[in-house]
Amino acid sequence: MSTTTAVDDRVATTSSLTRIMRRPEIGAFMGALVVYIFFALVDQTGTFFSLDGTARWTDVASTYGIIAVAVAMLMIGGEFDLSSGVMIGSSGLFAGLLITEYNIAVWPAILMTFVFAAGIGFTNGWLVVTTGLPSFIVTLAMFFSLRGINLGVTKVLTDTVRVAGVDEAPDGGIRAGYESAEAVFASALTQYNFRIAVVWWIVLTIIATLVLTRTKFGNWIYAVGGDANAARNVGVPVRRTKIILFMYVSMSSCLVGIISLMRLKSMQAGQGVTQEFIFIIAAVVGGCLLTGGYGSAIGGTIGAAIIGMAFIGIAYAQWNTDWTWLFLGLILFAAVFTNSLIRRRFQGARR
């Protein structure tokens, strides 16, 4: 950024650079470029830059990104969901148990799982808007409850801590509907092994961006996160908006749960736990304000891409993958720090 364009946009016309720099995800976008170049340079295997390597990191990024976009929307709406990680496991187990233990056909089981996830999201949202307790606490309680239920129910029904054999029919063949569901949720698209989850990720990012910037509901999301009282005073249905956002987060976790279930044909009871913070990191790296009212859906996607690159790039650099967490910590701080600098400089927005 050049110093000559430090425009006071209250008294002067806005330059196009300021317009671009005002986008919430701009810091994350530049960060993603730096991270990409960095891992391309330290790559020891020569694959990070290739289509194979790209397929690997976008695969990691896609499952994070699908949820990170939802978490970013919820964060713009002023709330958190700490149960977004454990919901991956809950949904996968729910669908898996319906299929293997109760012999429900694959597609109806998937449908029922989305209804279940919507119910969990509704419960989160309803509890938050009705009790007035911080969503941090409400969803933390949901997180631990689901974690216990996941283990407890799975053990009771299967005597193990995993659900397996989703693809096998009782007579030994392939279960009806499994192949089509696998094609929709978990197939590989090209010879380079790009996964269909990447398509889900991109499509959901586009839809979320359109909803956020081009619809009435998107306007409400910014308003309830920016100032719920002001929003209520001009007639925005604050409670409904927040509940819908919680439902969207749970259902996106459910989508990722179904994707992993179809891909692995099994589900561990502990699946998804600890990932909730990865989604929050992705959203925050992508430029969302923790206090709400500011951010973008594509920011969550860029944040997820950075995290995907880090996971795969560190492996390709042949470093110990334990360093991934240090990297995530540093990138989180650096991103938030530069985002706030950019915002102060080009936005002038208070807070």
Partner 1 sequence: MTEVTTNEPDALALEDVGKRFGSVIALQDVSMRVPKRQVTCVLGDNGAGKSTLIKILSGVHTPTEGQMFVDGKPTTFNSPREALDNGIATVYQDLATVPLMAVWRNFYLGNEPTKGFWPFRGLRTKYAKESCKAEMAQMGIDIRDPEQPVGTLSGGERQAVSIARAVHFGANVLILDEPTSALGVKQSGVVLKHIRTAAESGVSVVFITHNPHHAYLVGDNFYLLNRGRMLAEYTKDTVSREELVKAMAGGAELDALAHELGAET
The binding site for partner 1 (CB under 8 A) comprises 9-10, 12-14, 19, 22, 210, 214-216, 218-220, 222-223, 226-227, 229-236, 289, 293-294, 347-351
C-alpha distances in Å from residue 311, one per residue of 7, 23, 54, 233, 326? 39, 26, 12, 45, 11
CB nearer partner 1, residue 102 or residue 351: 351
Shortest distance, position 60 Cβ to partner 1, whole Å: 31
CB nearer partner 1, residue 15 or residue 321: 15
Shortest distance, position 257 Cβ to partner 1, whole Å: 25
CB nearer partner 1, residue 88 or residue 212: 212
Which residue(s) pair with 174 in the sheet? 168
CB nearer partner 1, residue 9 or residue 52: 9
Shortest distance, position 295 Cβ to partner 1, whole Å: 10
DSSP state of 162: E
Taking the C-alpha atoms of residue 318 and residue 341, their distance in angstroms, rounded to an integer, is 34
Shortest distance, position 351 Cβ to partner 1, whole Å: 7
CB nearer partner 1, residue 7 or residue 184: 7
Shortest distance, position 62 Cβ to partner 1, whole Å: 24
CB under 8 Å to 238, separation ≥6 — which residues?
129, 224, 228, 231, 232
Shortest distance, position 180 Cβ to partner 1, whole Å: 25
Shortest distance, position 207 Cβ to partner 1, whole Å: 10
Nearest Cα to Cα of residue 26 among 286, 341, 351: 286
CB nearer partner 1, residue 162 or residue 232: 232
CB nearer partner 1, residue 87 or residue 231: 231
Taking the C-alpha atoms of residue 62 and residue 66, their distance in angstroms, rounded to an integer, is 6
Furthest C-alpha separation in the chain: 75
Shortest distance, position 299 Cβ to partner 1, whole Å: 14
Range 326-335 contact pairs with CB under 8 angstroms and sequence separation of 24 or more? 328/278, 328/281, 331/31, 331/35, 331/281, 331/285, 331/306, 331/307, 332/281, 332/284, 332/285, 334/31, 335/27, 335/28, 335/31, 335/284, 335/285, 335/303, 335/306
CB nearer partner 1, residue 96 or residue 286: 286
Q: Which amino acid is at 157?
A: L
Q: Which amino acid is at 59?
A: D
- As to burial, measured by CB atoms within 10 angstroms (0-12 exposed, 13-18 middle, 19+ buried), residue 174 is exposed
Shortest distance, position 239 Cβ to partner 1, whole Å: 13
DSSP state of 103: -
Cβ pair 113, 254 in contact under 8 A: yes
CB nearer partner 1, residue 12 or residue 156: 12
CB under 8 Å to 109, separation ≥6 — which residues?
95, 98, 99
